[in-house]
Amino acid sequence: MSPAKIEGDKKRGYIVPIGGAEDKEGNADILRKFLEVSGGKGARIAIIPTASMLPDTGARYEKLFKKLGAGHAHALPYASRDDAANKEWLEILENADGIFITGGNQLRLTTILGGTNVAKTIRRSNARGVTVGGTSAGAAILSEHMIAYGKEGNTPHAGEVTLVPGFGLTNRIMIDQHFRQRDRLGRLLTALAYNPFAVGVGLDEDTAAFIDHHKHLTVVGAGALTILDASELTHSSIAEIKEGKPVTMTNVRLHIIADGGSFNLESRKAHAKKA
The set of catalytic residues is 136, 178, 205
137 three-class SS: helix
Q: Which residues pair with 233 in a beta bridge?
A: none
Dihedral sign, Cα of residue 188, residue 194, residue 196, residue 197: negative
CA R_g for the chain: 18
| Residue 150: partners with Cβ closer than 8 Å, 6 or more residues away | 160, 161, 162, 184, 187, 190, 191
H helix runs in the chain, sequence order: 29-37, 57-68, 87-94, 106-113, 117-127, 137-140, 185-194
Cβ-based neighbours of 91, under 8 Å, separated by 6 or more: none
Kindly state the DSSP code that residue 215 receives in the 8-state scheme.
Answer: S
* β-pair type (161-165, 249-250): unpaired
